[in-house]
Amino acid sequence: MSTLHPAIASYLDSLRAADKASTATTNTSFLSLFTGWLEPQRIDVLQVTAADLARYQLWIANEHRTRRGQLLAVSTQGTAILIVKALFRWLTKRGVLLTDPAASLVPPDPPKRLAVAKDHLSQQEAIALLDTCAARVADAEPGTTTRALRLRDLAAIVLALATGRRCQGLCDLHLAHLDAEQHELRVEREKGKAGRVLPIASWAVAVVNRYLVEARPHLLKGRESPYLLVSERADRLSERGFAFLLAEAVAATITRNPDLTDLPGKRISTHSLRVTFAVTLFANGCGIRSLNELMLHANLTTTAQYTPIPLEDLRRVLLASHPRA
């Protein structure tokens, strides 16, 4: 990874100071890509011109490839350009630059989607995933690190499916955020916005309590940690660690349930669990306004992307509700 320019480092620090750690992480990746493009040409970040940025955009669109040898998706190209625009806008506002060289840069406009483009679990698949995780716990010998890790994995996946929290939000949970007696989860801040108290199902609380009693002390080995989800070598389960444990659990679920023919073809990520939460609640009668609050979305339009309504359902509602249908 290229060394970041001090101006870029200051910009990323400002994001973290504004409680936007996840945004800073994403920006670091894309700005490292930008820096890596500038360095061979010996172009300083503070001397970039509009023409340089136009060439960068062409390179992003037509030349840069992923590790798999593929061109970036149009939406990813747009993200890369928007992040560069945000950097130069910040530098200009703070007087580091007199003019904004990225002001006229226009990111590509990806096709609009009515639904979140993310594979998710059906209700049957979600139940099979939980059953598989529980079976893996039962198969492990009591008192071992393997059993503690599998119980931690079960608790993490249960929390994701029961609350719909984002991956970083789950990893950032503190012990103090869980009120097991009231079956509540306190969200202090998420993505730079103030949070709220969310209900959590009793079955999920029971699983987490078991993890707290049987597994968490074993993993910490006497260490102190404010975080709810921990690992064997760290005081906090990382987002990458969550993705790894989920991939392992999904693979085990596929092996254990050959009848789930659709699951092997799905790309299940940590965000897929959030989509699963939304789709499951909406399909079982949860109103979109309530779901909006549970998902901690700022806008109803965002929640609507998680809850596409099939045409047949719309037709059924029309025929049942319209007086002249």
Domain limits of the chain?
A: 6-93, 123-313
Tokens of 3: 């060394």
pLDDT of residue 303: 78
User: What mean pLDDT, rounded, does the chain reach?
Assistant: 88
Comparison of pLDDT for 133 and 187, the residue scoring more? 133
pLDDT of residue 68: 77
pLDDT of residue 30: 94
Comparison of pLDDT for 163 and 284, the residue scoring more? 163
Q: Tens digit of pLDDT for each residue in 221-234? A: 999 999 999 999 99
Banded pLDDT at 322 (limits 50, 70, 90) = low
With a cut of 90, say whether residue 314 has pLDDT above it: no
Say if CB 270 and CB 246 are below 8 A apart: yes
Q: Is the pTM of this model over 0.75?
A: no
- Percentage of the chain beyond pLDDT 90 is 65
Say if CB 220 and CB 230 are below 8 A apart: yes
Query: Which residues, listed in sequence order, are joined to residue 186 by a DSSP beta bridge?
Result: 197
With a cut of 90, say whether residue 143 has pLDDT above it: yes
Q: Tens digit of pLDDT for each residue in 93-134? A: 999 999 999 999 998 876 665 556 568 899 999 999 999 999
CATH number of the structural domain 123-313 = 1.10.443.10
Q: Give 315-323's long-range contacts (Cβ < 8 A, gap of 24+).
A: none
Say if CB 208 and CB 159 are below 8 A apart: yes
Comparison of pLDDT for 127 and 294, the residue scoring more? 127
pLDDT of residue 21: 82
Backbone angles phi, psi at 45, to 5 degrees: -55, -40
